Amino acid sequence: MGSGKATDEEGTTPGFGQSVINVGNESKVRVWGDCDSERAWLLRDRLDHMAATGQRSITLDVSELQFADFTAVAILVGALARIRQLGAQVAVSPPSGGAYQVLKRAELTAARAVRIR
């Protein structure tokens, strides 16, 4: 995760994206680019929907996430905790890099909170 955030002329964060690969009850959500609070709400909604509709194994791939502001991190921490309460297993991948380190400090990478693959 970088140290700054860039916006385009419309005030949106360029280069942010997310994609989902579903195989049975397993899903991998890949995020890339810069994630501000507005984008984090979209990602949270997707993660919540996946857990509410029966996905029981969700991997959040943050290997290409370049930046997330404090509010975005807080939104994602809350989303991962809610998913866990719904009975889904959540993993953060890869177990290195800036995004992983932030989640680790929030204790979401502990075995009781998030299963790491």
The predicted-structure confidence for 81-108, as pLDDT tens digits, reads as follows 888 888 889 888 886 667 767 766 765 5
Domain boundaries, the chain: 17-105
Average pLDDT, the chain: 78
The mean per-residue pLDDT over the stretch 3-32 comes to: 73
CA gap 47, 51 in Å, rounded = 6
The answer to whether 76 touches 44, Cβ cutoff 8 Å, is yes
Domain 17-105 in this protein, CATH class = alpha beta
Separation CA 7–CA 26 (nearest Å): 33
pLDDT number for residue 25: 79
Residue 76 has pLDDT above 70, yes or no: yes
- pLDDT-based confidence at residue 110 (cuts at 50, 70, 90): very low
Q: Read off the pLDDT of residues 19-38 as tens digits, 9 standing for 90 and up.
A: 999 888 789 999 999 999 99
> Does 67 have pLDDT greater than 90?
no
